[in-house]
Structure 1
């Protein structure tokens, strides 16, 4: 299929090159501050006819774009197919775009995959921030679902999953079994979020023969893979009806499967709420809470769309961060020992780490921040869209342009970070910088009104899983591999995955 796509692209390029004339970077007479003047797009490389700069991105766009930004500057323009894309690679410009101009650069360009089952019409990720329903969803998430009080009330739902994780690691330790950290991180992250949402585990912690749960996990993985796949039809309109990669077809099928599962869960809960014998333990999860809103502000149909967003984004963000953090710690035994000693001193040897303990663990917090700096989950964030012409640094950000922030490049900028390629948690021990949207040197979850709504929950889950995996356990690599020899290459699939999944053996201390 990829060969067919390449052939079609080459054919179109050959046909259209005859009519294509290179011209200076586009300028526009635009009304800025009450007067009309002509301003140009930010500098950037010239592209090919039709496909623009798509070929410049390569297999790792975050790195390719970072290299281009060294040539053209921290405010750069690209042409991806027929879409003008403005790329930001500095914290100052990120702050200007996402804070100063956030009332103009607030939209989303909805990819085809987001449009299946009408998802883009009800999803907080894709709705414009001016939409009334977006405001309702945002308020419910911020003030109710992910408030500190609500998360404190639901933390017992997550503790059971962490006990299962520790029991599994102990079993692997007893038998000298290799742990697929990548798979376990995904499984435990999925269970943590679904237990919080509707008091259910959807993935087995081990590889046991639980067919129904394995099916759910595969659906979630398939959806994440589909969402992460670059779709040529999003950039070149002629392919929209053709769906040459089959992405829309696959997305429609898998979203349908996910909605069938969520519909069944919601139906069972509604039936339980009508009975007098409903388990009181269910009354504290987020599904029960949202059903109280369903008659007034939040239609029941919209709950499943919200849950799908939270499951996909929450699982991916937590699992990737846990795997990268564990890889860095296993590769740096002294850092691992320092983090473990903090847990032993402040928590105790045999006690399970609680969510209330996270704020008392400064080195663990620094470890997670440093891991996120080096390996941000979404290295290019989800692009914003300019709803009007905006001027930045004397250049034009045109209406309908995508605005992309390269947080990976910002996190490795030597003008911001000393020894940016080294894993040094100590740089965050002063506690002055965080990743919650205020410090633009570190915004892996975005900033402003578009910041990830589930960040408070993801923050707890990332720290808890890492803490429980290193508390009372040491780790060694497979075979004769020694610390420092671990493959730390990344793989771009919208999210930043570890190219070689992490596998290691836990050792009981």
Structure 2
């Protein structure tokens, strides 16, 4: 994870540069084995390697390096070699041809602390444990049947959000904040059975997702791990982990008490189960092949918040931003949804399949504004030959999905927002087309694509169906600031404030 670390680096880079004056040429040459055909590498400094070239927007910095040095480059972050793939061909080699070799994760301090020693699906290393927990997620938590069973939650929370906008009475609203509350409420009800509102819980989630995107110096320069302690990063991470653990313990106890009451009355409780209920049922199965310890359940729930809340709300926010900037596209999508809805109070999930233009608008949004621009880092488990280059075991691997989505060799006018490009293009985001991998691909691809997309589609369809959205103070859409800020996900730097006028 190389995100949100520019503030920390600004305090230590000067010291590194001074130290580099005392490092000999022997140190530099020792990092390269002349007998191996390594991928091309940009020049690096002693000790910090290429850390100084990453900046506050790593996906853009790495795209720039790729343009100069090639689609597959090897950089050095501190003492850690990192392979960066910036083309569909390179991504296919890593995520398909050699998927098994690159299926593991590097051990990173912050995610490890926050997820009970990387017991979640996202950050756990590849192996039998990961296969077991992912199997439970895919078969029990995120199957098509299970996703469909929570349809009423998505539709109710969408209606609640639409009504909240209606109460604004034409005043300026922070749409990003509203969308974040909406997706958080959906995840809470699906995972935990009810919403958890209040400033304290929202603040905990904000700190949790922020920390997942922070850079830990000690991961890349172990002898400087004291910097993480001095900056307070270690203490903040432990504090959030303890707070979240206390919250999840309360949730588990609440569910266990409810389960005992239901079981004591001899009533089945399949209906109305949330994901914690399902995990507790699996935990008590007598002939289970895999013991679902308490920390594993809590780590799985943490994954849902990390992967489900922030990424979903930001995708919808970017879509609305682009629609406001492109009135002709906004008009086309509104014509489609309003014709299909035909005066209904709300658009339901039954209507979504007919909305072809809505779907390509979301595809184009995910191409331009990939939620996790660098996906999650992988690690090679053995030496491998990749596109003619030698890659050593233990090399971290970054797929720049954001850069791949803007590759001019694959996309016509790649910087332009043009949803029509997908109307006659069968390309999808499910991991088979490596030119377009916003959810990753291969064994470690996102298992929650189906759930995330239906939330995106339902929210976006109802927003443009019920309201005409414009910028305040009669600002033109072209004036909208689209500057990014990088954390765990790719956010807008400035809040998306809009005026929503009801459509009658």
State whether TM-score is above 0.5: yes
Deviations 1:416-472 (A, max 9, x none): 111111111111113511111111111011100101122221111111111121112
Three-state SS of the structure 2 residue aligned to 1:191 is helix
Three-state SS of the structure 2 residue aligned to 1:436 is coil
Q: Distance in 2 between matches of 1:4 and 1:419?
A: 36
Q: Distance in 1 between matches of 2:206 and 2:293?
A: 27
On the 8 A contact 1:44/1:77 being kept in 2, the answer is yes
Which residue of 18, 27, 41 maps to 1:14? 18
Q: Distance in 2 between matches of 1:476 and 1:160?
A: 25
In the TM superposition, residue 230 of structure 1 has moved relative to its aligned partner by 1.9
Q: Report the counterpart of residue 253 of structure 1 in structure 2.
A: 239
Q: Report the counterpart of residue 293 of structure 1 in structure 2.
A: 282
| TM-score, reference length from structure 2 | 0.92
On the 8 A contact 2:114/2:240 being kept in 1, the answer is no
Relative to 1, partners in 2 of residues 1:12 and 1:60: Cα closer, same or farther, differing over 3 Å? closer
Q: Report the counterpart of residue 214 of structure 2 in structure 1.
A: 229
In the TM superposition, residue 26 of structure 1 has moved relative to its aligned partner by 4.8
Three-state SS of the structure 1 residue aligned to 2:150 is helix
Q: Report the counterpart of residue 266 of structure 1 in structure 2.
A: 252
In the TM superposition, residue 202 of structure 1 has moved relative to its aligned partner by 2.3
Relative to 1, partners in 2 of residues 1:127 and 1:160: Cα closer, same or farther, differing over 3 Å? same
Which residue of 473, 476, 493 maps to 1:479? 473
Which residue of 322, 325, 341 maps to 1:328? 322
Which residue of 203, 206, 210 maps to 1:218? 203
On the 8 A contact 1:110/1:120 being kept in 2, the answer is no
Question: How big is the alpha-carbon RMSD for the aligned residues of Structure 1 and Structure 2?
Answer: 2.2
In the TM superposition, residue 14 of structure 1 has moved relative to its aligned partner by 2.4
Relative to 1, partners in 2 of residues 1:117 and 1:59: Cα closer, same or farther, differing over 3 Å? closer
Three-state SS of the structure 2 residue aligned to 1:388 is coil
Written as runs of structure 1 = structure 2, the 5 A alignment for 1:373-452 is 373-430=367-424, 432-452=426-446
Which residue of 130, 134, 150 maps to 1:134? 130
Q: Distance in 2 between matches of 1:431 and 1:201?
A: 39
Three-state SS of the structure 2 residue aligned to 1:415 is coil
Q: Distance in 1 between matches of 2:11 and 2:251?
A: 45
Q: Distance in 2 between matches of 1:364 and 1:230?
A: 36
Ranges in structure 2 where 5+ consecutive residues have no aligned partner: none
Relative to 1, partners in 2 of residues 1:304 and 1:351: Cα closer, same or farther, differing over 3 Å? same
Which residue of 466, 484, 493 maps to 1:499? 493
1:357 correspondence with 2:351: yes
On the 8 A contact 1:108/1:383 being kept in 2, the answer is yes
On the 8 A contact 1:198/1:282 being kept in 2, the answer is no
Which residue of 98, 102, 111 maps to 1:101? 98
Three-state SS of the structure 1 residue aligned to 2:282 is coil
Q: Report the counterpart of residue 171 of structure 1 in structure 2.
A: 167
1:240 correspondence with 2:225: yes
In the TM superposition, residue 248 of structure 1 has moved relative to its aligned partner by 2.0
Q: Report the counterpart of residue 150 of structure 1 in structure 2.
A: 146
Q: Distance in 2 between matches of 1:264 and 1:444?
A: 34
Three-state SS of the structure 1 residue aligned to 2:100 is coil
Deviations 1:141-161 (A, max 9, x none): 112211111111121122221
Q: Once structures 1 and 2 are overlaid, which stretch shifts more, 461-470 or 370-379?
A: 461-470
Three-state SS of the structure 2 residue aligned to 1:291 is helix
In the TM superposition, residue 490 of structure 1 has moved relative to its aligned partner by 1.2
Q: Once structures 1 and 2 are overlaid, which stretch shifts more, 118-127 or 418-427?
A: 118-127
Aligned residues: 489
| TM-score, reference length from structure 1 | 0.91
In the TM superposition, residue 241 of structure 1 has moved relative to its aligned partner by 4.1
Three-state SS of the structure 2 residue aligned to 1:95 is helix
Relative to 1, partners in 2 of residues 1:5 and 1:317: Cα closer, same or farther, differing over 3 Å? closer
1:63 correspondence with 2:67: no
Relative to 1, partners in 2 of residues 1:9 and 1:486: Cα closer, same or farther, differing over 3 Å? closer
In the TM superposition, residue 255 of structure 1 has moved relative to its aligned partner by 1.8
1:454 correspondence with 2:425: no
In the TM superposition, residue 332 of structure 1 has moved relative to its aligned partner by 1.2
In the TM superposition, residue 49 of structure 1 has moved relative to its aligned partner by 0.8
Deviations 1:15-46 (A, max 9, x none): 353233164595548xxxxxxxx322211211
Which residue of 81, 84, 91 maps to 1:84? 81
Relative to 1, partners in 2 of residues 1:5 and 1:62: Cα closer, same or farther, differing over 3 Å? closer
Relative to 1, partners in 2 of residues 1:480 and 1:345: Cα closer, same or farther, differing over 3 Å? closer
Ranges in structure 1 where 5+ consecutive residues have no aligned partner: 30-37, 204-212
Relative to 1, partners in 2 of residues 1:14 and 1:366: Cα closer, same or farther, differing over 3 Å? same
Q: Distance in 2 between matches of 1:227 and 1:470?
A: 32
Q: Report the counterpart of residue 161 of structure 1 in structure 2.
A: 157
Q: Once structures 1 and 2 are overlaid, which stretch shifts more, 239-248 or 385-394?
A: 239-248
In the TM superposition, residue 196 of structure 1 has moved relative to its aligned partner by 1.0
Deviations 1:208-239 (A, max 9, x none): xxxxx221111001111111122222221122
Relative to 1, partners in 2 of residues 1:189 and 1:431: Cα closer, same or farther, differing over 3 Å? farther
Three-state SS of the structure 2 residue aligned to 1:444 is coil
On the 8 A contact 2:115/2:299 being kept in 1, the answer is no
